[in-house]
């Protein structure tokens, strides 16, 4: 007989009552993530692993905040002395109008993922763009003056495209199922004044244009939901034969850790990167902002990989498409 799911109220092994009592004391400061749902977030494991390694007296907590309660929840942060929170689905856009100050990057992107309580004021940022770009730098990929093909034009794509434009990418080819959404994003980048970056839009089903774009690109960034758990056999509709070893292929999906797109690209000699690094680095940027300390990203990555492996092994039933790959 298969093992029954543990009670949802059971503490995970990493937070037994004894361990929790040792971590949470009178002086413990609180960080967290607001989401709805939030149960599948990997951020608590990722941040708590880094906090524990550094011996910091903080704890990172998931808060299940309903959309209609978001303004009250955010407004309560200073009163509760909470240091800061991440925001995930479905709060990232709506929260923009509920904070006191927003960084330029978050305003451009039109969404926030990190809030910091500074002297009782809520200051908000979006660290996704930096989280996306830092692993490229770490991998030795210099995007300046290069050509990037971005698949998708949703929230994640906005962070990616604005960051690429900021970093001096010469040409962005933006392919989306809905051409109109891609055009809106291209117009927003032009309006923001990144005139040195040329953006061309194309529809995902324009096979010929897509093939030509793939042959000419240095970087391919996949930002759609295609291939995300549980639909792991799906692959974005792109001409795979146009993949060549000169392309760096970056898939923002991190569950599964290696998507079908990455496996196909790897088989064709491309350098590949999964969305795990972006998840870790967007979290690291938030962590540094809250604590003033750059966290051990290897510890954070190990926590994410370990938890994804456990989920895969447990295969305790389908996660919903929306939550399977959220902060
Ligand atoms: P979103 O705002 O809902 O955008 C979804 C995108 O996927 C849109 O471009 C949409 O095209 C496209 N899409 C959805 N289904 C499609 C299909 N069947 N065929 C072709 N295109 C399809 O979502 P998001 O927040 O940008 O997230 C997108 C992905 O990035 C998710 O997998 C998410 O987990 C991942 N992500 C990863 C990180 C990380 O840290 N690694 C961070 C953020 C997001 P239309 O516009 O035509 O609908």
- Hey, whose CA ends up nearest to atom 34 of ligand 1? 325
Arithmetic mean of pLDDT, 192-219? 95
CA of 156 to the centre of ligand 1 (A): 7
What is the per-residue pLDDT across 16-27, written as a single tens digit (0 to 9) for each? 556 666 678 899
What's the sign of the alpha-carbon dihedral 302, 307, 313, 318? negative
User: Which atom of ligand 1 sits closest to the CA of residue 224?
Assistant: 7
- Hey, whose CA ends up nearest to atom 17 of ligand 1? 226
Ligand 1 pocket mutation pick from 180, 202, 225, 227 by most atoms within 8 angstroms of CB = 225
What is the per-residue pLDDT across 209-225, written as a single tens digit (0 to 9) for each? 999 999 999 999 999 99
CA of 318 to the centre of ligand 1 (A): 19
277 catalytically annotated: no
Report the pLDDT value the prediction gives residue 313, as an integer from 0 to 100. Answer: 86
Catalytic option among 40, 47, 91, 92? 92
- Hey, whose CA ends up nearest to atom 40 of ligand 1? 279
pTM: 0.91
CA of 157 to the centre of ligand 1 (A): 8
Give the C-alpha separation, 185 to 154, whole Å: 9
Ligand 1 pocket mutation pick from 110, 111, 156 by most atoms within 8 angstroms of CB = 156
CA of 171 to the centre of ligand 1 (A): 21
Residue 95: count of CB within 10 angstroms of its CB: 24
Report the pLDDT value the prediction gives residue 170, as an integer from 0 to 100. Answer: 97
What is the per-residue pLDDT across 58-96, written as a single tens digit (0 to 9) for each? 999 999 999 999 999 999 999 999 999 999 999 999 999
Arithmetic mean of pLDDT, 178-190? 97
3-state secondary structure the chain: CCCCCCCCCCCCHHHCHHHHHHHCCCCCEEEEEEECCCCCCCHHHHHHHHHHHHCCCEEEEEEECCHHHHHHHHHHHHHHCCCEEEECCCCCCHHHHHCCEECHHHHHHCCCCEEEEECCEEEEECCHHHHHHHHHHHCCCCCCCCEEEEECCCHHHHHHHHHHHHCCCCEEEEEECCHHHHHHHHHHHHHCCCCCCEEEEEECCCHHHHHHHHHHCCEEEECCCCCCCCCCCCCCCCCHHHCCCCCEEEECCCCCCCCHHHHHHHHCCCEEECCHHHHHHHHHHHHHHHHCCCCCHHHHHHHHHHHHHHHHHHCCCCCCCCCCCCC
What is the per-residue pLDDT across 250-282, written as a single tens digit (0 to 9) for each? 999 999 999 999 999 999 999 999 999 999 999
**Sorting pLDDT into bands at 50, 70 and 90, what band is 10?**
very low
């Amino acid at each position: 007989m298969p093992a029954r799911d543990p009670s949802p109220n059971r503490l995970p092994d990493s937070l037994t009552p004894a361990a929790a009592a040792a971590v949470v004391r009178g002086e413990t400061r609180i960080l967290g993530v607001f989401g709805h749902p939030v149960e599948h977030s990997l951020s608590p494991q990722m941040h708590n692993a880094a906090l524990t390694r550094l011996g910091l007296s903080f704890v990172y907590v998931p808060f299940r905040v309903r959309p209609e309660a978001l303004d009250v929840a955010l407004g309560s942060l200073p009163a509760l002395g909470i240091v800061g929170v991440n925001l995930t689905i479905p709060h990232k856009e709506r929260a923009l109008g509920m904070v006191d100050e927003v960084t330029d990057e978050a305003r451009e992107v039109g969404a926030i993922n990190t809030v910091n309580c500074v002297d009782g004021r809520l200051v908000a940022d979006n660290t996704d763009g930096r989280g996306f770009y830092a692993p490229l730098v770490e991998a030795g990929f210099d995007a300046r003056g290069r050509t990037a093909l971005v698949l998708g034009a949703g929230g994640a794509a906005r962070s990616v495209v604005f960051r690429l434009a900021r970093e001096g990418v010469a040409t962005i080819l933006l392919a989306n199922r809905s051409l109109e959404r891609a055009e809106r994003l291209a117009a927003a980048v032009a309006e923001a004044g990144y005139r040195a970056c040329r953006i061309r839009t194309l529809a995902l089903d324009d096979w010929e244009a897509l093939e030509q774009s793939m042959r000419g690109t240095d970087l391919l960034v996949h930002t759609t939901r295609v291939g995300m758990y549980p639909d792991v056999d799906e692959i974005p509709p792109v001409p795979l034969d146009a993949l060549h070893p000169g392309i760096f292929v970056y898939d923002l999906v991190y569950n599964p850790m290696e998507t079908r797109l990455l496996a196909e690209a790897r088989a064709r000699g491309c350098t590949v990167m999964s969305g795990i690094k972006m998840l870790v680095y967007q979290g690291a940027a938030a962590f540094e902002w809250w604590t003033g300390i750059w966290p051990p990203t290897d510890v954070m990555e190990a926590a994410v990989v370990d938890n994804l492996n456990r989920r895969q092994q447990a295969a305790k039933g389908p996660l919903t498409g929306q939550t399977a790959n959220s902060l």
